Homo-oligomer: A and B are copies of this chain.
Amino acid sequence: MKRKITLKHIARELDVSISTVSKALKNSEEISRDTKEKVQAFARLYNYKPNNIAISLKNKRTKNIGVIVPDIVHHFFTTVFRGIEKYANAKGYNVIVCVSDESFDKEVINMEMLANGSIDGFIMALSAETQRKNDFNHLREVTEQGIPLVLFDRVTDEIRCDQVIIDDRAAARDATLRLIDNGRRRIALFTTETYLNVSAKREDGYRQALEERGIPVREELILRLPYQYEEENLSGVFFRDQEFDAVLCVNEIFAVRAMRLAQQQGLRIPEDISFIGFTDGLLSRYSAPTLTTVAQHGEQMGEAAAKMLIDKVEQEYDETDARSYRTRVIPTTLIERESTAL
């Protein structure tokens, strides 16, 4: 087992000082041609690589960014993560991921663990519990320490920081308008029970679209489902009565499950009833029928978030404190598939 070699070893071996070795390896002008070649050859031979930790301690920069998400087994967050990782890696940064599991406490603990020097900045989406409690002190502490923070998707305006979001309201509005313009009038909304910013905004957009077209909002058509809802919640009766002819769902799982129930009731999709979901994941692409859905372009969001964060991290060092926070809105795309095909 050959342990890693350090500057000290090289220095001792070549009978020069540590500083000389350090400078030689950086090709400093200060060092003679001879010495540089000698040192570099030796370093190459023994495969010397500087110790990241030591460099971090000296520079007070880790080249790590912390990502905290509520859930990782979730298509949207995964694609965002891919975007982050891609951009960060290209810039020489590593990504430390923590999962808050929708829990406030875990979110706080994870932030604290990372905030003590492990990372240069945070990218995160708030947990459901954090949004419910409306307690953002952990975010505030971090930003007050001067650690850059970028929030995406599940954001709050209580904290001054960069944000990357989609226009959930507009996306839901556009989707609803599309249904209306396709001749649908009794449009239901299947949304989440737990309080999430995004769900609320999507509901707003839904309402807005109906109002714009002069269709009264019928509250009984708005279903709030627990995340892992039981089939009974969507009673077959609901479908059988033909209470509605279109459904907007705030995620693709709700949509696919609802489609199945409708089919089991003998309804034809899209002839009798059409569906639109959110998140362009595997389910949307491979369900039968394929699902029309609002693509959130998670990867793009991730790249944007990583770029904003890294820009801020790196400017910290040359710039004056030109603190200004930006919000980037990534445009959504309505991907039309069989579930709304006319």
A72 pairs with B57, CB closer than 8 A: no
Copies in the complex: 2
- Of A88-96, A122-130, A167-175, A218-226, the segment with at least 4 beta carbons within 8 Å of chain B is A88-96
Task: With CB as the reference atom, state the residue of chain B lying closest to A110.
Answer: B89
Considering the chains assembled together, what is the distance between the CA atoms of A228 and B62 in angstroms? 38
- In the assembled complex, the CB of A4 is this many whole angstroms from the nearest CB of chain B, namely 6
Q: Contact check: which of B85, B112, B117, B253 meets A286 at CB < 8 Å?
A: B253
- A residues 181-240 near B (Cβ < 8 Å) are none
Task: With CB as the reference atom, state the residue of chain B lying closest to A54.
Answer: B57
A22 CB-CB contact with B under 8 Å: no
- In the assembled complex, the CB of A108 is this many whole angstroms from the nearest CB of chain B, namely 13
A145 CB-CB contact with B under 8 Å: yes
- A residues 52-104 near B (Cβ < 8 Å) are 52-54, 56-57, 62, 64, 72-73, 75, 78-79, 81-82, 85-86, 89, 92, 94-99
- In the assembled complex, the CB of A78 is this many whole angstroms from the nearest CB of chain B, namely 5
A2 CB-CB contact with B under 8 Å: yes
A260 CB-CB contact with B under 8 Å: yes
Considering the chains assembled together, what is the distance between the CA atoms of A3 and B96 in angstroms? 22
A113 CB-CB contact with B under 8 Å: yes
A16 CB-CB contact with B under 8 Å: no
Task: With CB as the reference atom, state the residue of chain B lying closest to A146.
Answer: B1
User: Could you give, for residues 272-293 of chain A, a 1 whenever the CB lies within 8 Å of some chain B CB and a 0 otherwise?
Assistant: 0000000001110011100000
With contacts A52-B118, A288-B260 known, is A99 near B72, CB below 8 A?
A: no
Considering the chains assembled together, what is the distance between the CA atoms of A270 and B149 in angstroms? 52
Task: With CB as the reference atom, state the residue of chain B lying closest to A77.
Answer: B78
